[in-house]
Structure 1
């Protein structure tokens, strides 16, 4: 979406505003940023608000919170595509074998690396949490109500309500990412608790190791494989061959 947008509406100002709209985590902020876009370029606003581009597909304010992931770009699949790039050009059996070996090596490297880590959290969530701790210390003031809800005010004058039992914040960053935002960290410290205990289970070291406990087993070389009675796997037809077949049928 960003690529198509920049082709039609070039310039850093519009690009930055488009990302502000996409990164809005609440509906009021999303509406505010869309109004800013409208003031900058009405045609750009119409393009983003078109029915073919529903915000449920590109704006955090409309994302569900069950996945605990606020990623908006497809770098993950692009990285995996690059990882298997050389194998894709090979015949089917050789392709699958190279992918299997690559994944087997990768799983061992990931598992060994995580086992060497100190602490209960994975490195990247810990880094995000440490940043939010610094922001909470310098920017947030918490006011409790004697229960599980805490009102957090920032020096900018904004206020957000944190529910420690439900693990939610009205800014929705904690809900979306699974890592306590600065408001949540401030509220957690106000209740004399440890923010690390409020990080989503998917970011725990034990969860990561549990995922990589399902090992890919080694396989003997092809010369030791049992002969199959099934027909051999053939490569897919070339596009031009399929096209000529369709032409021939039409001519008949």
Structure 2
């Protein structure tokens, strides 16, 4: 963590308003407090749920209520879910309230425009680098560097070709899905730039000037929710004008302003006269080395998909 902080400072970045998410490992937690004391800390809800199971809070009812509370974009839905969890087990509510990190979406900072409450994107990176797991350390790092160079390079070229105000692929996908959902909503103008949107049997106040909806999703995500889109389309406005700048070309270009440059073969590297470091002597343990990820004690086992082969003629 100190090296990461020093790298930021060397690049001229001295800001402290970071948002970090982790699985509450003791080493990581202490390092974050020491190195980034002002950073906003989130906890991975999947790991938090597994901790709840380890403390005896489990069952299908608790699982459903926990994720309703975790994914709640407003305090009302969160409070209702926590009330039902308290009825299920008061100790579970006390345990969740003792979590000092942010884990429910309604508590997230609206200026960040990110509603991630799990570390799935980290697991995705680990899955992409899984084929390199059997390599020695040097070969492993070189394979990861090559993989990152290819991925970042493609996005660097994409950023160069983006036009001003163009939306990212993620924003376009979310906008398309929420537009389809907005067809079942009905908006009523109240005057003064305020609207009331009916979604099923529930009404949601909308204020275009402050870019806010009572459901809370627009404020947290930075992309208009289905209720706001219903108003925007009824008013013949462009929804792109109401999307956060974080999802537009300028931010994308800033994110991928640099790329990883190609590197010569190690045989062509300059010689600095340093001693050659040899790998330590390792005694190979007996048996075949494990490759699969070790699942937790309460983590469900991966099921096998069974298929029945039937005769095309006799159907048996």
TM-score (norm 1): 0.77
Matched residue, 1:130: 176
Q: Is the contact between residue 156 and residue 258 of structure 2 (CA under 8 Å) also seen in structure 1?
A: no
Within-5 A mapping of 1:48-67: 48-49=96-97, 51=98, 53-54=99-100, 56-67=101-112
- In the alignment, structure 1 residue 45 sits paired with structure 2 residue 108: no
Give the Å deviation of 1:71: 1.1
* Partner in structure 2 of residue 70 of structure 1: 115
Question: More helix per residue: 1 or 2?
Answer: 1
Unaligned runs of 5+ in 1: 239-252
How far apart, CA to CA, are the structure 2 residues paired with 1:215 and 1:12? 46
1:3 to 34, 42, 50: 50
CA distance in 1, matches of 2:168, 2:58: 38
Partner of residue 250, structure 1: none
Pair 1:139 & 2:185 matched: yes
> How far apart are the structure 1 equivalents of 2:181 and 2:257?
36
Query: Which runs of 5 or more structure 2 residues have no equivalent in the other structure?
Result: 1-47, 283-316
Distance 2:130 2:271 in 1: 29
Equivalent residue for 1:108?
Answer: 153
* Counterparts of 2:281 and 2:86, CA distance in 1: 49
1:97 Cα deviation from its structure 2 partner: 2.6
Q: 1:188 to 1:235 in 2, by over 3 A?
A: farther
Superposed counterparts of 1:1-252, under 5 Å: 1-7=48-54, 8-49=56-97, 51=98, 53-54=99-100, 56-85=101-130, 87=132, 93-111=138-156, 120-147=166-193, 149-162=194-207, 164-205=208-249, 207-230=251-274
Alignment partners' CA distance in 2, 1:116 and 1:236: 48
Secondary structure at the aligned position of 1:150 is classed as strand
Q: Decide whether the 8 Å contact of 1:142 with 1:186 is kept in 2.
A: no
* TM-score (structure 2 length as normaliser): 0.63
Alignment partners' CA distance in 1, 2:217 and 2:276: 52
CA apart distance, 1:93:
4.5
| C-alpha distance in 2 between matches for 1:64 and 1:187 | 25
Contact 1:179–1:200 (8 Å) recurs in 2: yes
Does the 8 Å contact 1:141/1:154 carry over to 2?
no
SS of residue matched to 2:184: helix
Structure 2 CA distance for partners of 1:115 and 1:144, relative to 1, 3 Å: farther
SS in 2 for 1:158: strand
- Does the 8 A contact of 1:65 with 1:175 survive in 2? yes
Specify whether residues 237 and 124 from structure 1 end up closer, same or farther in structure 2 by C-alpha distance, changes over 3 A only.
Answer: farther
Partner Cα distance (1:217, 1:146) in 2: 53
| Secondary structure, aligned partner of 2:260 | coil
Deviation at 1:86, TM superposition (A): 5.2
Note if contact 2:110-2:220 (Cα within 8 Å) is conserved in structure 1.
Answer: yes
Superposition RMSD in Å: 3.2
Equivalent residue pairs, number: 233
Question: Does the CA-based 8 Å contact 2:167-2:248 persist in structure 1?
Answer: yes
1:5 shift after superposition: 2.2
Q: Pick 1 or 2: higher relative contact order, CA cutoff 8 A, min separation 6.
A: 1
- Structure 1, 111-120 or 195-204: larger mean CA deviation: 111-120
3-state SS of 1:179 partner: coil
Relative distance call for 1:115 and 1:226 in structure 2 (3 A) is closer
